[in-house]
């Protein structure tokens, strides 16, 4: 590893056992200002600043009493929520193991499992004010397939949100290139008073990720 180039950019030498792709990823991480900022301020990932940016724009966290963090790993979003609303009940879930966060209940489970949904409801102890979903399906390298797999997770999260959200509550989810599918967008507009898309400053410019922000949950609707 060496320093060179303009602004003291850190360059990583390709070593035995490390692929060129992993070398590029490591170099990008080492030179990412959001990664450096996260380390300096004690956040587990640069993703913390995505939520901070969304909260500054949409005022998501203020006054929230029960928050659900779907796809919590490594925990940056819940760290931001705990710091912003320290008295809130915060519950997170992920397939990956997550180091404990003081004041946050964490489940290492598949969100799509029936037992997970009941566990989350019990841990919340009542209707949620805010549901955050940074979930993304494991990629297979085929853009359309990856998009559909992630949208499947978002659809499941929306269904759950409509079951556990307090009237007036909000739902935030990561989507990718292609944005929110028309069918899903119709569901969100039916159940929330406002639905918008945003790309936080902390999202990499070359990333296809966006976030859909649905606010003003209308309450559980009866079937037509």
The 3-state DSSP composition of the chain as helix, strand, coil percent (nearest 5) reads 40, 25, 40
Q: Would the annotation count 134 as a binding residue?
A: yes
**Spatial separation of the C-alpha atoms in residues 204 and 160, rounded to whole Å:** 29
77 is in an annotated binding site: yes
Among the listed residues 174, 190, 205, 218, the single catalytic one is 174
List helix spans (H) across the chain: 20-31, 33-41, 48-58, 76-84, 114-124, 143-164, 182-191
38 touches 76 (CB < 8 A)? yes
- 163 belongs to an annotated ligand binding site: no
| Strand pairing report for 210-217 and 165-175 | antiparallel
- Residue 55 annotated as part of some ligand binding site: no
174 tagged catalytic: yes
> Which residue, among 33, 25, 40, 29, has the nearest Cα to 7 in the 3D structure?
33
Query: What Rg, from alpha-carbon coordinates, does the chain have?
Result: 18
99 annotated as belonging to a binding site for a ligand: no
How far CA 2 is from CA of 9, 12, 13, 75, in Å, comes to 9, 6, 8, 30
Taking the C-alpha atoms of residue 169 and residue 171, their distance in angstroms, rounded to an integer, is: 7
**Strand partners of residue 213:** 172, 196
Catalytic annotation, residues:
174
Q: Which residues line the annotated binding site for S-adenosyl-L-methionine?
A: 75, 77, 94, 110, 134
Q: Which residues line the annotated binding site?
A: 75, 77, 94, 110, 134
């Amino acid at each position: 590893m060496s320093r060179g180039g303009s602004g003291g950019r850190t360059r990583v030498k390709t070593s035995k056992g490390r692929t060129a792709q992993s070398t590029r990823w490591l170099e990008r991480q080492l030179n990412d200002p959001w990664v450096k900022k996260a380390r300096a301020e004690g956040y587990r990932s640069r993703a913390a600043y995505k939520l901070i940016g969304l909260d500054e724009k949409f005022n998501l966290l203020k006054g929230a009493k029960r928050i659900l963090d779907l796809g919590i790993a490594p925990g940056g979003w819940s760290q931001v929520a705990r710091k912003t609303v320290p008295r809130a009940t915060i519950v997170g879930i992920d397939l990956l193991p997550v180091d404990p966060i003081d004041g946050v209940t964490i489940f290492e489970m598949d969100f799509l499992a029936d037992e997970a949904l009941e566990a989350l409801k019990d841990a919340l102890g009542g209707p949620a004010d805010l549901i955050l979903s940074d979930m993304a399906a494991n990629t297979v390298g085929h853009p359309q397939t990856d998009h559909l797999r992630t949208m499947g997770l978002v659809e499941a999260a929306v269904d759950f949100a409509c079951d556990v959200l307090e009237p007036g509550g909000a739902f935030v989810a990561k989507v990718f290139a292609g944005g929110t599918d028309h069918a899903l967008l119709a569901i969100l507009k039916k159940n929330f008073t406002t639905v918008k898309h945003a790309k936080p400053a902390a999202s990499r410019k070359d990333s296809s990720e966006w976030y859909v922000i649905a606010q003003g949950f209308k309450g559980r609707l009866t079937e037509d």
